[in-house]
């Protein structure tokens, strides 16, 4: 049991995966400009509540299905190979894209400290984003470091995660309290309270990105075999993490709103950082940088672990090369982690803007996985209340998908993100046709082995 995860480990893993770079930058680039403070808060709360309905489907899954692969293996066993592959193919991009996104975000953290002096050996521009060799090397170092940490085992990974999340939460609370005491609230009241207008379009823009903001809650099914308590109890940890995430997102948005109007926040290179630096000074800014670094590395760690688990499960079901189902002496899918690291090392060479396009489409792919889990749970559960709640989760997942793809939706994906979705679907079709034709025979062999063991 020493190698297993306790409740604190799970709380840290989920919260660290939910709160990433976006929570520190979105107040200036999106939240205040598009939705203000109150409509953003409503959108985040509504989104958090919606995710708890989806989590009900996950709760049923974890009661009935404690196996590596989470949503993928659950779908495979209940709906067959094709549907299982759709979920696995969707999630693998969700998880893999967030690792390099956070790694390149770590470069931006260093930039906040040392400025453009770290921009050395310019290579080229992609999507109007300059790529420097120095930045690629920094991101690569972070990826390799966390690959090493995860290869060392689940306990080493969870210790790092616990430390990162503690730094994140403590520093954010300190900064929030300090800003409340030292700032004049007049600007905040005039811009965000007195002129408040309830607007469903503004709220919808926040709700539409909830699948991306809270995709971290679904790391629990990927580590369900590592728990030292009953899997269904992990639901409480997930719900606590979701609303802790809602709280942190809102706190960081309020901190920014205390100093800047929506227009002024949008003009800042980093509105939250500028607000802290201007009011608290260098010490406060360093606390913010530490919190940001903790959020970024927590995301890398959580999704690298989840990715390796998913890849191991795909391999176990014959949908990925068989070598990736092998575990090392501490029970880790070492080759899976190395695969994640290699793919992540390629991404920084394409520039952060391209990575962001791919991550944006992850909202759609994550919502698709949510739908499958809730739909299956609504079909297999006997309790009428749980069946009803899971069905609501299915409809919410469809609503998320609609907000992202309907042309007139305020939260629709950008054209580049839509193109990447199409490319990923086409790639998945050809991959399945070429490499997965023998999966059924392998799965039948595995079932026969289980029967013989029993």
Read off the pLDDT of residues 32-74 as tens digits, 9 standing for 90 and up: 988 999 999 999 999 999 998 998 899 899 888 878 788 999 9
For 243-266, letters b (16+ CB in 10 Å) and e give: ebbbbbbbbbbbbbbbbbbbebbe
Q: What is the mean pLDDT of residues 112-138?
A: 83
Domains of the chain, by residue range, sit at: 7-453
Q: What whole-number percentage of the chain has pLDDT above 90?
A: 21
Label residue 442 by pLDDT band (50, 70, 90). Answer: low
Task: Work out whether the CA dihedral 373, 357, 161, 285 comes out positive or negative.
Answer: negative
The better pLDDT of the pair 414, 273 is held by 273
Q: What is the mean pLDDT of residues 296-316?
A: 86
- The residues, ordered by sequence, that sit 6+ positions from 84 with a Cβ below 8 Å of its Cβ are 72, 73, 75, 76, 77, 317, 319
* Whole-angstrom distance, CA of residue 54 vs CA of residue 395: 9
CB 307 within 8 A of CB 99: yes
Which DSSP state fits 5?
A: B
Which CATH code of 3.40.50.300, 3.40.50.1820, 1.20.1740.10, 1.10.10.10 fits the domain covering 7-453? 1.20.1740.10
Whole-number average pLDDT of the chain:
84
Question: Chain centroid to CA 160: how far?
Answer: 18
Lowest mean pLDDT among 95-109, 127-141, 176-190, 198-212: 95-109
What is the predicted pLDDT for the residue at 1? 37
Does 10 have pLDDT greater than 70? yes
Residue 205 DSSP SS3: helix
Residue 20 DSSP SS3: coil
Lowest mean pLDDT among 92-96, 188-192, 197-201, 298-302: 298-302
What is the predicted pLDDT for the residue at 2? 44
Does 256 have pLDDT greater than 60? yes
The tens digit of pLDDT for each residue in 259-289 reads 999 888 888 878 888 899 888 988 998 898 8
Tokens of 395: 């409809």
Tokens of 257: 């709103």
Does 448 have pLDDT greater than 80? no
* Whole-angstrom distance, CA of residue 425 vs CA of residue 419: 10
Residue 408 DSSP SS3: coil
Label residue 451 by pLDDT band (50, 70, 90). Answer: low
What is the predicted pLDDT for the residue at 174? 94
Q: What is the mean pLDDT of residues 310-332?
A: 86
Does 447 have pLDDT greater than 80? no
Tokens of 248: 């942190």
Highest-pLDDT range among 172-176, 198-202, 286-290? 172-176
Tally Cβ neighbours within 10 Å of residue 415. 9
Residue 232: burial class (beta carbons within 10 Å; 0-12, 13-18, 19+): middle
3-state secondary structure 92-140: HHHHHHHHHHHHHHHHHHHHHHHHHHHCCCEEEEECCEEEEHHHHHHHH
């Amino acid at each position: 049991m020493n190698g297993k995860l306790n409740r604190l480990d799970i709380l840290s893993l989920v919260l660290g995966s939910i709160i990433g770079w976006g929570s520190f930058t979105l107040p200036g680039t999106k939240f205040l400009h598009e939705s203000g403070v109150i409509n953003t808060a409503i959108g985040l709360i509504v989104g958090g509540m919606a995710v708890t309905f989806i989590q009900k489907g996950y709760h049923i899954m974890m009661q009935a299905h404690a196996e590596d692969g989470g949503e993928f293996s659950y779908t495979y066993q209940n709906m067959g190979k094709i549907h299982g592959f759709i979920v696995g193919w969707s999630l693998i991009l969700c998880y893999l894209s967030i690792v390099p996104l956070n790694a390149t975000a770590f470069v931006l953290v260093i930039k906040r400290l040392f400025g453009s002096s770290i921009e050395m050996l310019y290579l080229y521009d992609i999507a109007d984003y300059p790529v420097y060799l120095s930045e690629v090397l920094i991101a690569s170092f972070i990826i390799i470091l966390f690959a090493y940490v995860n290869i060392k085992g689940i306990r080493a990974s969870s210790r790092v995660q616990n430390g990162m999340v503690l730094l994140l939460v403590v520093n954010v609370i300190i900064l929030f309290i300090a800003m409340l005491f030292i700032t004049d609230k007049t600007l905040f009241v005039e811009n965000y309270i007195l002129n408040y207008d309830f607007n469903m379009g503004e709220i919808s823009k926040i709700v539409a990105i909830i699948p991306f903001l809270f995709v971290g809650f679904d790391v629990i099914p990927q580590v369900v075999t590592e728990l030292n308590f009953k899997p269904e109890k992990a639901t409480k940890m997930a719900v606590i993490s979701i609303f802790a995430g809602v709280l942190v997102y809102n706190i960081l948005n309020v901190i920014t709103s205390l100093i800047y109007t929506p227009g002024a926040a949008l003009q800042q290179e980093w509105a939250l950082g500028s607000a802290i630096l201007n009011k608290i000074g260098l010490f406060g800014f360093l606390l913010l940088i530490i919190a940001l670094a903790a959020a970024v590395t927590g995301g890398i760690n959580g999704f690298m672990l989840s990715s390796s688990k998913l890849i191991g499960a795909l391999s176990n079901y014959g949908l990925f090369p068989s070598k990736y189902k092998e575990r090392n002496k501490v029970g880790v899918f070492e080759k899976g982690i190395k695969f994640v690291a290699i793919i992540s090392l390629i991404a920084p060479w394409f520039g952060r803007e391209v990575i962001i396009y791919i991550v944006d489409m992850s909202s759609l792919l994550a919502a698709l996985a949510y739908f499958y889990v809730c739909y299956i749970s609504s079909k297999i559960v006997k309790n009428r209340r749980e069946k009803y709640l899971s069905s609501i989760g299915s409809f919410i997942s469809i609503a998320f998908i609609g907000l992202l793809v309907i042309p007139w939706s305020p939260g629709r994906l950008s054209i580049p993100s839509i193109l990447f979705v199409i490319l990923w679907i086409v790639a998945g079709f050809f991959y399945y046709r070429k490499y997965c034709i023998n999966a059924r025979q392998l799965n039948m062999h595995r079932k026969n082995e289980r029967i013989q063991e029993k």
